[in-house]
Amino acid sequence: MPKFKFAKLVRDKIVEHQLASGALPVYRQLPPDEHKRELINKIIEEAQEIILAKPEEIAMEIADVQQALDDLKQKYGLTSEDIAKAQIAKNEKNGAFTKGLFVDYVKVDSDSQWAAYYRDNAERYPEID
């Protein structure tokens, strides 16, 4: 019997479906902290699948992202209202993503607070020539 690596969080009924089909999954229930981490990995995985999806599959892929977000929100004890308030606050301060603005790079004064911030977060904002 061939064996295929999953190494990822799956929807709650997947193991049941696998067993019903005669497959033999090796699985475990994650502890809360690992579950949170794997929900974040699932959001990343599902978001990447949106890029590859056919137009008729987009809603299903976004639904997967939304489900993982909803489950993560629950794990952190957050409500939809909590998220909505945070979204409003961020939108008021920095705007949304509706304009499609994309920053290739930014030049800042060497001694500015932003230069320090970007250098402190070099994995996200590597310094370039």
Per-residue pLDDT at 113:
96
**Residue 43 in contact with residue 65, Cβ under 8 Å?**
yes
pLDDT of residue 66: 98
- Please give the pLDDT value at position 54: 97
pLDDT digits (tens, 9 = 90+) for 47-103: 999 999 999 999 999 999 999 999 999 999 999 999 999 999 999 999 999 999 999
Instruction: Report pLDDT for 91.
Output: 98
For tokens 């932003």, the residue is: 114
- Report residue 89 as tokens: 């606050």
CA distance 118 to 50: 29
Tell me, what's the pLDDT at 4? 94
Q: Count other C-beta atoms under 10 Å from residue 66's C-beta.
A: 12
Residue type, 51: I
Global pTM value: 0.86
For residue 94, give the DSSP letter.
H
Q: Which residue has the tokens 């997947």?
A: 14
The model's pLDDT over 7-55, given as tens digits with 9 standing for 90+, comes to: 999 999 999 999 999 999 999 999 999 999 999 999 999 999 999 999 9
